[in-house]
Amino acid sequence: MSKFLSEFKTFAMRGNVIDLAVGVVIGGAFGKITTSIVNDIIMPVIGVLTGGINFGDWKIVLKEAVANAEGVIDPATEVAITFGNTIAIILDFIIIAFAVFCLVKGINSLHRKKEEPAPEPEAPAEPEPTKEELLLTEIRDLLREKK
């Protein structure tokens, strides 16, 4: 049993697991932010643009709500397919997917820049030969001609 616990401890303390845990926590918080943006900002604007329609109220009623013993209609007895909330959730997903896409694209761009080798500096041009070098070259050429 102690070997099992030791292996679990090694697994849990690996960097990947901790990175994953941090990602899940940040992802949960990011999900709440995007849900708020969709529900509190985007959906009301869409509702105004569509004539004050509240997408949360969109539903297909399969069975009407029934009145209880006092004659009051009990909304809990209604059976309906509510698809307005689904529209908001789909928008929520699209925003999250777009944000993650932009984040991954940015990170990949940084990785590419990091991996690209630095351009090699150009080799310096050969310096002009000195007077002595020119004279020695001329002497060499004259000696070759004599042979």
Element (H, E) at 26: helix 15-37
Flag whether pLDDT at 50 surpasses 80. no
Q: Rounded to whole angstroms, how far apart are CA atoms 69 and 142? A: 127
Position 15 scores a pLDDT of: 66
Q: What is the mean pLDDT of residues 88-117?
A: 82
Please compute the mean of the pLDDT values over residues 101-112 and round it to a whole number.
85
d(CA 99, CA 108): 14
> Mean per-residue pLDDT for 20-28?
85
Amino acid 72: pLDDT: 86
CB 11 within 8 A of CB 17: yes
Confidence of residue 91 (pLDDT cuts 50, 70, 90): confident
d(CA 114, CA 106): 12
CATH classification code of 2-117: 1.10.1200.120
pLDDT at residue 111 in the model: 82
